[in-house]
Amino acid sequence: MKSEAPPIAARGTAPRYVDLQAGDPAPFFEQRTFANPKFNFDTAAGRYLVLCFLGSSADPDGAAAISAALARPDMFNDSHASFFGVTFDSDDKERLKEQYPGYRYFLDFDGSVGRLYGALAVDEPSAAEPRVLRRLWIVLDPTLRVIAAVPFGHRGGHSGLVDWVAALPPPGSFAGFSVAPPVLVLPNVFDQALCKRLIDAYEQAGREMSGFMCEENGKTVLRHNEAHKRRRDHNLTDPALIGEARRLIHRRVVPEIRKVHQFEVTRMERHLVGCYTAEDRGHFRPHRDNTNKGTAHRRFAVSVNLNAEFEGGRVGFPEYGPQTFKPPPGGAVVFSCFLLHTVTPVTSGRRYAFLPFLYDEAAARLREANAAFLEGSTYRSGLTAGA
- pLDDT at site 13: 64
- pLDDT at site 6: 67
Buried b / exposed e over 125-155, threshold 16 CB at 10 Å, is eeeeeeeebbbbbbbbbbbbbbbbbbebeeb
| pLDDT confidence tier of residue 149, bands split at 50, 70 and 90 | very high
Least confident of 150-154, 356-360, 370-374: 370-374
DSSP code at position 25: B
User: What backbone torsions phi and psi does residue 116 show, to the nearest 5 degrees?
Assistant: -65, -35
List, in sequence order, every residue forming a beta bridge with 99; answer none if it has no partner. Answer: 103
Helix (H), strand (E) at residue 261: helix 254-261
Question: What span, in angstroms and rounded, lies between the C-alpha atoms of 36 and 19?
Answer: 28
Q: Are strands 48-55 and 81-87 parallel, antiparallel or unpaired?
A: parallel
Instruction: Say if residue 384's pLDDT is above 60.
Output: no
Q: By percentage, how much of the chain surpasses pLDDT 70?
A: 92
pTM of the prediction?
A: 0.87
- pLDDT at site 375: 74
CB atoms within 10 A of CB 30: 17
Least confident of 74-78, 154-158, 342-346, 377-381: 377-381
Instruction: Say if residue 365's pLDDT is above 70.
Output: yes
3-state secondary structure of 53: strand
List, in sequence order, every residue forming a beta bridge with 39; answer none if it has no partner. Answer: 31
- pLDDT at site 126: 59
**Which whole-number Å values give the CA distances from 347 to 310, 311, 314, in the listed order?**
7, 5, 11
- pLDDT at site 298: 97
Q: By percentage, how much of the chain surpasses pLDDT 90?
A: 81
- pLDDT at site 115: 96
Between these two residues, 382 and 323, which has the higher pLDDT value?
323
Q: Which domains does the chain have, with CATH numbers?
A: 8-173 (3.40.30.10), 184-373 (2.60.120.620)
- pLDDT at site 29: 96
Task: Name the H helices within 102-208.
Answer: 112-117, 157-166, 192-204
Question: What span, in angstroms and rounded, lies between the C-alpha atoms of 301 and 234?
Answer: 17
For residue range 301-359, what is the model confidence (pLDDT) as tens digits? 999 999 999 999 999 999 999 999 999 999 999 999 999 999 999 999 999 999 999 99
83: nearest Cα among 50, 105, 48, 44? 50
Mean pLDDT over each residue of the chain, to the nearest integer: 91
Task: Name the H helices within 310-377.
Answer: 361-369
For residue range 23-80, what is the model confidence (pLDDT) as tens digits? 999 999 999 999 999 999 999 999 999 999 999 999 999 999 999 999 999 999 999 9
Which conformational region is residue 118 in: left (phi greater than 0), alpha (psi within -120 to 50 degrees), or beta? left
- pLDDT at site 385: 37
Q: Are strands 229-230 and 283-287 parallel, antiparallel or unpaired?
A: antiparallel
Buried b / exposed e over 264-287, threshold 16 CB at 10 Å, is ebbbbbebbbbbbbbebebbbbbb
Q: What is the mean pLDDT of residues 78-95?
A: 97
For residue range 107-148, what is the model confidence (pLDDT) as tens digits? 999 999 999 999 999 987 655 566 789 999 999 999 999 999
Instruction: Say if residue 2's pLDDT is above 60.
Output: no
3-state secondary structure of 99: strand
Question: What span, in angstroms and rounded, lies between the C-alpha atoms of 351 and 314?
Answer: 9
Question: What span, in angstroms and rounded, lies between the C-alpha atoms of 328 and 181?
Answer: 19
Helix (H), strand (E) at residue 51: strand 48-55
- Cβ(264)–Cβ(362) under 8 Å? no
Least confident of 3-17, 254-268, 285-299, 356-370: 3-17
CB within 8 Å of 317: residues ≥ 6 apart: 181, 183, 323, 335, 339, 340, 341, 342
For residue range 206-229, what is the model confidence (pLDDT) as tens digits? 788 887 877 777 777 777 788 899
